[in-house]
Amino acid sequence: MEIGKYNTLRIARRVDFGLYLADADGNEVLLPTRYVPDAAQEGDELTVFVYHDNEGRPIATTDRPAATVGEFARMRVRQVAAAGAFLEWGLMKDLLVPFREQKIPMQAGQWHIVYVYLDHITHRVVGSARIDKYLDNTPPRYTRGQAVDLFVTGETELGYKVIINHLHSGLLYRNEVFRPLRTGDRATGYIKEVREDDKIDVSLYPLGYDKIDGIADRILEALRQNGGALSMHDKSDADEIRALFGCSKKSFKQAVGALYKRHLITIEPTGLRLVGED
């Protein structure tokens, strides 16, 4: 039975105040009545999150926290007390971030990116805002084009800082992002490159679209420089397209289609127009 994670457990017995669930070794944990599914029967299996209650006893819940042990999430501070800051993470019991694990002093109402871990001294689930020490501790063994989970942690001049698979830091370049992103957003991304210094570049789009994304950037820039409109369309001459955008007519049409799907342009009989430009 793993504390701070989801466990699939067997219903061992029913009591007045809930169900006792057991793992393969016979260890039991209480699932209080408020979380018991209506059709639950002895012998059934339930997937539950296991953590400690206010008395330090293991307890199970069907509620889903914002993050489990080994994961990052953006959470709001509910209150600050003698032990540290308590953050809302989707469970009845708030997540403690001890003062030593706060990057800056936390205050009620603030939002912070935190890492959830199991304290090996207290054996309780706690959080840390000192996220850098939990990142990039293993070699980044990714392949180009690999699909990964992204968690946006902030912005730089170049683009958006992200956490990859709850393990590594990475960067989404601003000129390759075609939709609004905010700190705390999650998305599926794709590995573009792992550099020699282990820095990682990622994309929001499958790498088959890398080339298309670059052409789309050039189309958008040309539209902006031309007052929001271009007399170019899928019937335009291939040589004219190649001269203006440095690509084939097929790639141009794919890029136009991608921009249209992202609601960045409209396609009119006379050519292309930026959305919002009259």
Q: Domain extents for the chain?
A: 6-61, 72-133, 147-204, 209-274
Alpha-carbon gap, residue 97 to 101, rounded angstroms: 6
CA geometry: angle 74, 75, 80, nearest 5 deg: 140
Looking up tokens 């007052």 gives: 227
Q: 3-state class of 102 per DSSP?
A: coil
In the chain, which stretches have pLDDT less than 50? none
- Where does residue 27 rank: exposed (0-12), middle (13-18), buried (19+ CB within 10 A)? middle
CATH number of 147-204: 2.40.50.140
- Please state the separation of Cα 2 from the chain's center in Å: 23
CA geometry: angle 271, 274, 275, nearest 5 deg: 120
* Nearest one of 92, 116, 94 to 35, comparing CA atoms: 92
CATH number of 209-274: 1.10.10.10
- What are the E-state strand segments in 209-270? 229-230, 265-268
Confidence (pLDDT) at 250: 84
Asked if 215 and 252 count as a contact pair (C-beta separation under 8 A), the reply is yes
Confidence (pLDDT) at 277: 60
Same fold yes or no, 147-204 and 209-274: no
User: pTM score, two decimals?
Assistant: 0.75
* Nearest one of 277, 275, 278, 251 to 263, comparing CA atoms: 275
- Which H or E element spans position 152? strand 147-155
Alpha-carbon gap, residue 209 to 258, rounded angstroms: 9
Confidence (pLDDT) at 209: 60
Alpha-carbon gap, residue 106 to 112, rounded angstroms: 8
CATH number of 6-61: 2.40.50.140
* Nearest one of 263, 232, 261, 262 to 249, comparing CA atoms: 232
Alpha-carbon gap, residue 90 to 64, rounded angstroms: 6
Q: Which CATH architecture has domain 72-133?
A: Beta Barrel (2.40)
H helix runs in the chain, sequence order: 210-225, 238-245, 249-261
Alpha-carbon gap, residue 270 to 81, rounded angstroms: 65
Confidence (pLDDT) at 118: 95
Alpha-carbon gap, residue 24 to 112, rounded angstroms: 37
